[in-house]
Structure 1
């Protein structure tokens, strides 16, 4: 069978490998669709400290169950499914308090073990979610990025009527926008420096947009809030140097959700944080958000097709990566069809 393998940084391609078997406690999934994520690109560029090469990447995927391993119950051959990539031990402190996405022995499908850019993959049955009949496999492949949005919003604890500022209108910023609207938030401002991305944000329901290159974000948000500040800020731009500005924009009792893995230090003005009693939360992966997102897709409150800018066959994986690398302004989500 075919698989997309990253052998070392900048050394990748489609290879022939033996098909895996369904291990005990696992199911074999024939992959239908998989999305290319920014973290896949980080692996390709050698910028992910957790990965060990060679690695078959891909953590956003959906397909059809082809075989069942020993001890698996509740799933059957031909079930249509998507896969939560977060594998946790169930025993460490984070797991014991209900935070398995930061398990001390965390493993992520597509990072620590082979992922969805192969025609068949064996995955833990506990990570497999059956799909309602009205959720297509192409939409289901994009459940995972929406769980990132659902996770950071839960960490920020929105209240009814809260205004939300989203920094960055890439894929994660747009998923935060969509999930926030699905959960009832209506006053949502999106800031980016690329007009096409801001156009996309408006088309998906942003009530306001700001081009950070041409407008003073801090002044705009102060005027919009009558000087009170913004209670919810989601940083999907992940630029450490912007953190002091976010702390100034935040209202007293505001919450700032951080999503970036950048190792560059951010300046933290303690006075700004303490006088406002700000809550600053990190958000990593997702904490059991797949059922919630699948229900939002099934109910029509989310439309994953709005994220997709390109759909390409598996054979054109190399061309897709070149496009993302060299023309990122043209790309939202690239969906790869593997054809299960």
Structure 2
């Protein structure tokens, strides 16, 4: 079968590889669509980062570079392994793309997204969505019903946002500020809207993304190059500050603005994966007793995310900005995101186009 494999920084190759064999307790999926994630882009530009380098195989998969990429994918069940009796050939599905040990304290406590040996399908071995077929253990597979498979490829990033909103503890009618209207920021806005947030404020300098933030559900869109964001948030909230803020950019100054924008006792959720060690004035937390919460991927979020998508509470179509075939992956997705990043939300790739 054909697959996109990462060989090193700037080196992704479309290659013929052996089709994976279905094993007991697992399901083979014919991949229909796979999204390109910011994590994939970072690997392309700077990796290997999460991808295991040569000589350092992942403890659960035993794989190292080169690996098949792609963790935001949907597809159709093509084979069912022994012991799987609740899925059938032809079922449309998405995958929660994890490798977990099931034995460490976080796994035993139900926080499997913080497994001490955590791995991701499509980054750390076990196949990936940028291939024609992938075999995945049944426990990580979620049926999608009548949701189109191109829309369903958005379930994984939506689950990231759903988890961030859930972990924030936001209540209906409360005010939230989302810093950064890239792909994760936009889906966070959508999930906040679906959760019943009273006022949603987006902070974003890029014109194309500002327009999308409004369509995603933001009531106000602030350009940090034009206004003092914390001061404007105070005005919009009657001098109180927002109840919750979501940092989706991974920038020191943005985190500072997020903390300055919430009320005393408010919560800032760090959604971004940072590419550097942050510099931050912790006294700004102390003086207002602000809570800062980290969030990683998802944990028990896929079913509710699929319901949001299926019910129309979240609009996947507006998030899809391009569809390409596997042969155009580097030029049509990775290089396009490097050169025209602000013009895109989600580029979907079909291994069979």
Q: Taking structure 1 as the reference length, what is the TM-score of the superposition?
A: 0.95
Q: Tell me whether 1:209 sits opposite 2:207 in the alignment.
A: no
- Retained in 2: the 8 A contact 1:312–1:336? yes
Secondary structure, in 3 states, of the residue corresponding to 2:287? helix
Cα separation, 1, equivalents of 2:252 and 2:137: 36
Return the offset for 1:28: 0.7
Return the offset for 1:339: 3.6
Residue aligning to 1:234: 246
Residue aligning to 2:346: 333
Deviations 1:94-142 (A, max 9, x none): 1222211111121111111121100001111110111112x01111111
Secondary structure, in 3 states, of the residue corresponding to 2:46? coil
Consecutive unaligned residues in structure 1, runs of 5 or more:
none
- Retained in 2: the 8 A contact 1:31–1:118? yes
Residue aligning to 2:212: 200
Query: Aligned pair in 2 of structure 1 residues 226, 302: CA closer, same or farther (>3 Å)?
Result: same
Return the offset for 1:87: 2.6
Return the offset for 1:250: 1.3
Q: Tell me whether 1:82 sits opposite 2:94 in the alignment.
A: yes
- Retained in 2: the 8 A contact 1:243–1:267? no
Residue aligning to 2:9: 9
- Retained in 1: the 8 A contact 2:2–2:351? no
Cα separation, 1, equivalents of 2:275 and 2:342: 24
- Retained in 2: the 8 A contact 1:34–1:336? yes
Q: Taking structure 2 as the reference length, what is the TM-score of the superposition?
A: 0.92
Cα separation, 1, equivalents of 2:315 and 2:258: 29
Question: Which stretch of the first structure deviates more once superposed, 174-183 or 263-272?
Answer: 263-272
Matches within 5 A, 1:244-255: 244-255=256-267
Residue aligning to 2:55: none
Residue 135 of structure 2, aligned match among 105, 119, 122: 122
Cα separation, 2, equivalents of 1:212 and 1:276: 23
* Backbone CA RMSD of aligned residues: 1.5
Deviations 1:227-273 (A, max 9, x none): 21111000111113332232222111111110222253334433332
- Retained in 2: the 8 A contact 1:241–1:266? no
Consecutive unaligned residues in structure 2, runs of 5 or more:
53-64
Cα separation, 1, equivalents of 2:346 and 2:92: 22
Cα separation, 2, equivalents of 1:154 and 1:47: 31
Deviations 1:38-74 (A, max 9, x none): 1111121234532121011100001111112233231
- Retained in 1: the 8 A contact 2:250–2:275? no
Matches within 5 A, 1:1-340: 1-52=1-52, 53-113=65-125, 114-133=127-146, 135-320=147-332, 321-339=334-352
Q: State the number of aligned residues.
A: 339
Secondary structure, in 3 states, of the residue corresponding to 2:203? strand
- Retained in 2: the 8 A contact 1:307–1:332? yes
Cα separation, 2, equivalents of 1:240 and 1:111: 27
- Retained in 2: the 8 A contact 1:2–1:119? yes
